[in-house]
Amino acid sequence: MTNERPSGHEQQKPLLEITNLKKYFPIEKGLLRRVVGYVRAVDDVSLSVYRGKTMGLVGESGSGKTTLAHCVLRAYDLTEGEIIFRPGDQEYRLNELEAKELRQVRPHMQMIFQDPYSSLDPRKTVYDIVSEPLRLNGATRDAALDQRVRDLLEAVGLDYRHMKRYPHAFSGGQRQRVGIARALALNPALIVCDEPVSALDVSVQAQILNLLSDLQAQLNLTYLFIAHNLRVIQHICDDVAVMYVGKLMERARTDDLFRNPRHPYTEALLSAIPIPDPDRPLPEQGLEGELPDPANPPPGCYFHPRCRYAQAICQVEAPPWLETEPQHFSRCHFARELPLQGSI
């Protein structure tokens, strides 16, 4: 993207710079496994994440958030595009790296998963789980490793005396802490958090969000934070990107996005959050329908079939990526003029 100017924290080079990223999954049919089409899970996404900051990625299930995360971690090969990653003073073009070089980069980027129940191996003790990344990178089982595991468990608020226990002995929130300790083991620069609090009760969600904030401040961590709960995003993210059917629909500073959304999809997402106040009910009319099939998206603007503001042009012409204010972008033909409702 050429139309994004640096300002504020964008003075320095981003830690993670994604440019025109595409990830298409082939759809195969029949005995010969003929390719009959593509799921365009990520379709031309550009996004920069700055050191020490949190970039939120939000959108309905199936919009391509997890696929994007897997591309960044190079768990997937890209269909197209470039990903530059700058931990320390190195610069890596992730899209060009082969397996051997990727092994060198991997310690700098880690992931935290949604489901604290299935993401930890039930047959391994907490000690094994947390020390595994260190052992895979050459550490031996000795007093220094023990100390490191203790420090990590302490950093995430777990009692190190429980490190010989198995995951099933822990509550959901504690398991998520184990996952975070493991992700921290190799001192990563970037942590990709894929729905890390979606499976937790609000009370425990609050503990984990506070922990992630504390760790970020202490360790200067950078987060790519995926969630479908906009209130969580609002709380923890500096910037937000809204994704729909593989494309970014809007990107802005968090406060700008909530105060002044510039895309009807963002407005619809904001208005769908139920508020725990009986005097502020959900609107009688809300976003209807579901996400279209990313193998066969509608023509024009992908959002037009569900958009309450759709005009004739929206059915035929894909909207441009407009900068409506500095550092605020929207993919809507009417991004500048629609009177959209925020929510703060």
Partner 1 sequence: MIPQPQVRHDQAPVTESDLLLQVRDLRTYFRLDEGMLKAVDGISFNVYRNRVLGMVGESGCGKSVTAQSILQIVPKPGVVQGEMLWHRDGQTVDIGGLDPESEEMRAIRGNEIAMIFQEPMTAFSPVHTVGNQLMEAYFVHGKLDEAEARARAVELLDLVGIPAADRRVDEYTFQLSGGMRQRAMIAMAMMNRPRMLIADEPTTALDVTIQAQILRLIRRLQAETGAAVLFISHNLGAVANLANDVAVMYRGKIVEFGTVRQVLKNPQHPYTVALLQSIPGFGYRRGDRLQSIRGSVGVPIDPPDECPFRGRCDRFDPALCGGSMPASVEVEPGHQVACVLYEARS
Ligand X SMILES: Nc1ncnc2c1ncn2[C@@H]1O[C@H](COP(=O)(O)OP(=O)(O)O)[C@@H](O)[C@H]1O
Binding residues for partner 1 (CB under 8 A): 60-61, 171-174, 201-207, 209-210, 213, 228-232, 234-237, 254-255, 267-269, 271-288, 290, 341
CB of 133 to ligand X, least distance (A): 24
Q: Using CB under 6 A as the criterion, what x/- string covers residues 137-156 for binding ligand X?
A: --------------------
Which residue, 88 or 289, has its beta carbon nearer to partner 1? 289
Which residue, 58 or 314, has its beta carbon nearer to partner 1? 58
Task: Take residue 303 and report the two structure tokens written for it.
Answer: 């959002």
Residue 319 near ligand X by CB under 6 A: no
How many whole angstroms separate alpha carbon 135 and alpha carbon 191?
A: 20
Which residue, 65 or 177, has its beta carbon nearer to ligand X? 65
Which residue, 40 or 333, has its beta carbon nearer to ligand X? 40
Which residue, 97 or 199, has its beta carbon nearer to Mg ion? 199
Find the binding residues for ligand X in span 183-202 (CB under 6 A): none
Beta strand 322-325 pairing with 328-330: antiparallel
Could you say which of 10, 19, 25, 132 contacts ligand X (CB under 6 A)?
25
Residue 64 near ligand X by CB under 6 A: yes
CB of 147 to partner 1, least distance (A): 26
The answer to whether 222 and 15 are in contact (CB under 8 A) is yes
The answer to whether 72 and 109 are in contact (CB under 8 A) is yes
The answer to whether 311 and 233 are in contact (CB under 8 A) is no
Task: Take residue 166 and report the two structure tokens written for it.
Answer: 């198995």
Q: Look at residues 37, 14, 164, 9 and name the one whose alpha carbon lies nearest to residue 87.
A: 14
| Among partner 1, ligand X, Mg ion, none, residue 39 binds (CB under 5-8 Å by kind) | ligand X
| Residue 80 DSSP SS3 | strand
Q: Using CB under 6 A as the criterion, what x/- string covers residues 31-50 for binding ligand X?
A: --------x-x---------
Residue where the block lists tokens 């990313």: 294
- Of 57-65, 97-105, 107-115, 229-237, which part binds ligand X (CB under 6 A)? 57-65
Count each helix (H run) and each strand (E run) in the chain, helices first.
10, 12
Could you say which of 66, 95, 110, 176 contacts Mg ion (CB under 5 A)?
66
Residue where the block lists tokens 């000795």: 142
The answer to whether 64 and 294 are in contact (CB under 8 A) is yes
How many whole angstroms separate alpha carbon 254 and alpha carbon 184?
A: 26
Q: Which residues contact 232 (CB under 8 A, 6 or more apart)?
A: 197, 205, 209
Give the residue closest to Mg ion by C-beta.
66
Residue 63 near Mg ion by CB under 5 A: no
Alpha helices in 98-201 (DSSP H): 99-105, 126-136, 143-155, 172-184
| H or E element in which residue 190 lies | strand 190-194
Q: Using CB under 6 A as the criterion, what x/- string covers residues 65-104 for binding ligand X?
A: xxx-------------------------------------
Find the binding residues for ligand X in span 283-312 (CB under 6 A): 294
| Among partner 1, ligand X, Mg ion, none, residue 280 binds (CB under 5-8 Å by kind) | partner 1
Q: Which residues contact 202 (CB under 8 A, 6 or more apart)?
A: none
Torsion of Cα atoms, 47 then 49 then 55 then 58, to 10° = 20
CB of 66 to Mg ion, least distance (A): 3
| Among ligand X, partner 1, Mg ion, none, residue 119 binds (CB under 5-8 Å by kind) | none
Which residue, 73 or 236, has its beta carbon nearer to partner 1? 236
Long-range contacts of the stretch 27-36 (C-beta < 8 A, 24+): 27/295
Q: Which residues bind Mg ion (CB under 5 A)?
A: 66
Binding site for ligand X (CB under 6 A): 25, 39, 41, 59, 61-67, 294
